[in-house]
Amino acid sequence: MLLYKGTTLSQAQSYLPKIELDCRTNNLYYGRGFYTLTKKEIAVLVAQNFAFKRHDRAVVNTYNLDDEVFKKCSIMEFKELTESWLDFVVGNRDDSSHPKILDAVESFVIDDDMMQNVIYFENQVFTKPQIMNRLRTCKILKTYKQIVLKSDKILNYLKLVESELV
């Protein structure tokens, strides 16, 4: 399976020669991990957005991850927006509510408005039923998958194919 990482040139260079789990991702949806996408087009948009914000050049790294790995690793998959998904996201952002047993999370791609709503929920601005209604109005890119690699075990199977300025 090919996975794509949209990033900046300076960040892409930090992944060489070995990818380290990045503590800077603690506040993202699925907590600490190496965030990848299954569609290159989305990775390009992510890279361009990061590059613009950081005054850097946009890069998409392409990786290969053998499908057999998923049989050897612990994977959590979310196909729909549910209260269980919300609980999981909040627990991972807290980084204390979930044991560190997952190797990866596979889920739909979500937008920044959705993340802002998660933050509202964390700060008790809205109740869970209210936030679920708000989340359902956000753009969910179900046709694209995001795979977050959360352990060294699964990262050891990830192989860089190419790095491309976009």
User: pLDDT tens digit string along 78-100?
Assistant: 988 899 999 988 887 766 555 56
Long-range CB contacts (within 8 A, 24+) of 39-43: 39/4, 39/144, 39/145, 40/2, 40/4, 42/4, 42/6, 42/109, 42/141, 42/144, 43/4, 43/5, 43/6
Beta-carbon count within 10 A of 10 CB: 12
63 versus 101: the higher-pLDDT residue is: 63
Q: Which residues pair with 88 in a beta bridge?
A: none
Greatest mean pLDDT range, 19-23, 89-93, 160-164: 160-164
Looking at residue 141, its pLDDT comes to 65
Looking at residue 92, its pLDDT comes to 77
Distance CA 85, CA 62 (A): 28
Please give the average per-residue pLDDT across 113-125, as a whole number: 89
Q: Where are the domains of the chain?
A: 2-165
The identity of residue 38, as a single letter, is: T
